Amino acid sequence: MRSRNGNFPFLFTSLALITTLALKADNYYIGYRLTAKNAQPINETLSISKAMQPCIASNNSPSLILKCTPNERLESVLQREENNFLEFASSQELHIQSNDIVGVSHTQLLNSLTLPTKCYAVEFNDESVTITATK
Amino acid sequence: MRISALLALLFTIPALHAGFLSPDEPESKVKCVYSGTDGHCVEPILKSQNEIVITVVGQGVAPSVTASPAQAYALAKRAAMVDGYRLIAEKVKGVEVEGQDTIKNMMLMQSTTRTSVEALVRGANITNTTFKEGLCEVEMEISLSYSRVLR
């Protein structure tokens, strides 16, 4: 027989799982990094990983609705609609790091933009997918 | 002694009049943090009643080798976005500037200036995008207010 304290994490996880299943939303961790040298992009990385544990969504989180075909994976949706997703995600929070070196003979501008890896609730419908930022 | 006390009193009265005794300035008047060489207001102060909107234009260029014009546009826009965010960070947070000059035999051999910016930006939006002759310009704005800063 479990103690009262021992049951709490089990109950909490079960409730979170049931809530997630009830909302029919999967959770994904998405991160992005872009490096531009002399105003030209040189490296771009979009990382998508399915969350192993459900994330807790807040009530007034912003959402993005993208078109998708039936049985399409999130990776291919985001590759196609990358601009829309980046505008949506970057309007919330991003990290910018910039280093410029200006000399007599050469000039180098190096900018790096990073979207912190964050959990998103992703709900697939028939012809659209709703991506909601969670905290 | 009396003369010096009288002089001190005479100097104190205008100072009191300009400072403590004068009524508060109207809120609509913009104060300057510092002024440029021409005396114009450079940086407005953020107050609890109003909000400051900062607008920047970021520029980006597509790589010389791309698979299609659409890819060139997408990549140039990304670079322009990064530039725009850098400009926002520069305006809001400031720039670290480091200069280094190397002098040998009383002659300048090398001169380098490094600038760096690092910031976490929240709530910036793209308002306009133009793409012409390989150059993409992204107009971005961020609104600063007490409620956003303290969020």
Looking at residue B32, what is its pLDDT? 54
Q: A109 to chain B, minimum CA–CA distance in Å? A: 9
Least confident of A20-24, A76-80, A105-109, B89-93: A20-24
Residue B110 three-state SS:
strand
Interface with B, mutate which of A96, A109, A111, A114 (most B CBs under 10 A)? A96
Which residues of A fall within a CB distance of 8 Å from B77? 83
| Cα B78 to Cα B131: distance, rounded to the nearest angstrom | 12
CB contact under 8 A, B121 and A97: no
| Cα A115 to Cα A57: distance, rounded to the nearest angstrom | 19
Which residues of A fall within a CB distance of 8 Å from B87? none
Are the beta carbons of B4 and B12 closer than 8 angstroms?
no
Q: In what order do the strands lie in the sheet with B52-61?
A: B52-61, B135-144, B124-132
- For residue range B62-111, list pLDDT tens digits in order: 888 888 988 899 899 999 999 999 999 999 889 999 999 999 999 988 99
The answer to whether A90 faces chain B, any CB pair under 8 Å, is yes
Q: Which amino acid is at A59?
A: N
What is the Cα B9 distance to its own chain's centre? Answer: 42
- Rounded to two decimals, the ipTM of the complex is 0.71
In chain B, domain spans: 13-149
For range A33-37, the mean pLDDT: 94
Q: What is the DSSP code string of B29-79?
A: SPPBSSB-TT--B--BPP-SS--EEEEEEEEEE--SS-SSHHHHHHHHHHH
